[in-house]
Amino acid sequence: MSYELKIALRFLKSGKTQTLFILLGIAVGVAVQIFLGSLITSLQESLVDRTIGNSSQITIEAEDDAISRILTERGSDTTLLRGNFSTFEKSLNNWTLIVDQLQGDARITAISPVIQGTALIRSAGKNQSIQVKGIQLENADKIYEITKRLTVGDPVIEGNNILIGTKLSENLGIGAGSVVSLLTPKGETVRFIVGGVFDLENESVNESLVFMNLKRAQKLFQLGSGITAIEIQISDPFEADVAADDWKSMLGEVNIDQWKEQNQQLLSALASQSSSSYTIQFFVILAVTLGISSVLAVSVVQKSKEIGILKAMGSTKTSASRIFLLQGLILGILGSMVGSVLGILLLSVYQLFNQGNGSLVINYKWSSILIIGMIATAAATFASLIPARRSANLNPMEAIKNG
């Protein structure tokens, strides 16, 4: 052990109350940071999860045909009849190739080819317009977790079985085993059997979405072997734009939509939330740093005689400053450790009292606790710089002379 460290430790030990208060100050600062950071991160994660957790993050569709393109790109001055607009989404015929090409991408956690179309559902004299989604159950399950969210019936969509939402089931007074008629835009009426009822925790989805087998949907909408879209989820949703760009250049003639583009408002809300959190964290660190700095500055004055005698006995300037830098470092490390425990405790207590209302689960990451601790330790060491310099420049004669 260097003798500077030994002296630093003794100085800290001798000023017990002072050390305790400064430690508490750092600890509270660190705890607030951990609490606030974890709270904001968890809140954002849950918000993002609610928004896109059970939906397609990246959707690949066929490029628009000429008529649609003109209609969407040109303004109202274009005199084209709305009747020219295709009622069906254009089919993606080479989709198996695309799926094969994307299969190798490690970012992808779910890839699900779908057919989307509209129809009218009819039961016991009541009509309601619905969104039909033809899926391969096992792939779509990775995105929508249909199997897990089934309230009634079985997760089966073979043959003429379909799955409907809870709201639709209520509205039409139908349930598992009911027979319903679907009226397609082309005027065809087909009978289906309700295999199960799901609850995707979204009112409008529960009211209008109907799942059926992909092949059955291809037949219903007369798409041959084509599909209308490929829905994809990736491991880090915030990478969606990058992945979409990559695939656009790889696949060429397709349309790729991703959630970030469609949720600009949410993203900017998240960003401003983050920056306000960072601002608070910055000022907490600043306050802690100033606190440490002033306490250590007082300590230099208190210990000036001791430093003077050490210098008279041959301590160098470097050693004299190191004694105070080490004190800052030790305070930072100990304060961060105590603060981490305090922060985790605070989170658990918060969790305990907020168990009932809302289902927000606050997660803390060890990596972010480590980073916060390291920043606090660095700040504490930085705070000791000025006191350390004063200690280094202390004139031993002046310090000793005054008795």
Partner 1 sequence: MDNILIRGENLIKEYGTVIKTRALDEVDIQLNEGEFASIIGASGCGKSTLLNLLGALDRPTAGELYFKGKEFSNMNEYELAQFRNRRIGFIFQFHHLLPEFTALENVLIPSWIESGVVNQKKQERAIELLETVGLKDKISNPSNNLSGGQQQRVSIARALINDPDLVLADEPTGNLDSESTEQVYELLRKINRELGMAFLIVTHDRHIAEKSDRIIEMKDGRIISDT
Query: Least Å distance between CB 306 and partner 1?
Result: 5
Q: Which is nearer to partner 1, 246 or 306 (CB)?
A: 306
Which helix (DSSP H) or strand (DSSP E) does residue 130 occupy?
strand 126-135
Query: Least Å distance between CB 386 and partner 1?
Result: 21
Residues 6 or more apart in contact with residue 244 via CB below 8 angstroms: 58, 256, 257, 258
DSSP character string of 88-107: SPPPBTTHHHHHHHHHT-TT
Q: Is the four-CA dihedral 187, 193, 195, 199 of positive or negative sign?
A: positive
Which pair of tokens denotes residue 139? 């792939």
Angstrom distances, CA of residue 366 to CA of 203, 284, 314, 369: 37, 20, 44, 5
Query: Least Å distance between CB 49 and partner 1?
Result: 54
Which pair of tokens denotes residue 30? 């660190």
- Strands of 148-267, DSSP E: 150-153, 161-165, 179-183, 189-198, 209-213, 229-234, 254-258
Query: Least Å distance between CB 311 and partner 1?
Result: 7
Query: Least Å distance between CB 390 and partner 1?
Result: 16
Query: Least Å distance between CB 396 and partner 1?
Result: 6
Query: Least Å distance between CB 338 and partner 1?
Result: 23
Binding site for partner 1 (CB under 8 A): 1-3, 5-7, 10-11, 13-14, 305-306, 308-317, 319, 396-397, 400-401, 403
Q: Which is nearer to partner 1, 45 or 306 (CB)?
A: 306
Q: Which is nearer to partner 1, 10 or 191 (CB)?
A: 10
Q: Which is nearer to partner 1, 166 or 315 (CB)?
A: 315
- Tell me which residue of 90, 215, 199, 88 sits closest to 161, measured CA to CA: 215
Q: Which is nearer to partner 1, 374 or 397 (CB)?
A: 397
Q: Which is nearer to partner 1, 320 or 347 (CB)?
A: 320
Residue 208 near residue 199 (C-beta atoms within 8 A): no
Query: Least Å distance between CB 2 and partner 1?
Result: 5
Residues 6 or more apart in contact with residue 1 via CB below 8 angstroms: none
Q: Determine the Cα–Cα distance for residues 140 and 231; give it in Å rounded to an integer.
A: 8
Q: Which is nearer to partner 1, 199 or 306 (CB)?
A: 306
Q: Which is nearer to partner 1, 122 or 317 (CB)?
A: 317
